[in-house]
Amino acid sequence: MCLAIPGKVLKIEGNKGIVEVGNMKREVFMHLVPEACVNEYVLVHAGCAINMIDEEEAKITMNIFKELLENEVC
């Protein structure tokens, strides 16, 4: 199963952007969301921002991921 992860757009240059996901910053392709602006949130999948997401929903999703990782059983 593949998941898209929300991230905050920090910088956009052409078709690429820098997105903060948790404590990590990643370069992603932005061509699928040309309407995205700095300080907005996008869903990132396979190195591409694939959709816009509002800040509240992004934070809820990140908290769920954080909780899942904290309770992971190997």
Q: What is the pLDDT of residues 27-72, one digit of tens each?
A: 999 999 999 999 999 999 999 999 999 999 999 999 998 888 888 7
Q: What is the pLDDT of residues 7-22, one digit of tens each?
A: 999 999 999 999 999 8
CATH architecture of 5-70: Roll (2.30)
The domain limits of the chain are 5-70
pLDDT confidence of residue 18: 98
Is 52 exposed, middle or buried (CB count within 10 Å of its CB: 0-12, 13-18, 19+)?
A: middle
DSSP bridge pairs for 29: 16, 48
pLDDT confidence of residue 3: 83
Contact 16, 55 (CB under 8 A): no
DSSP 8-state symbol, 6: E
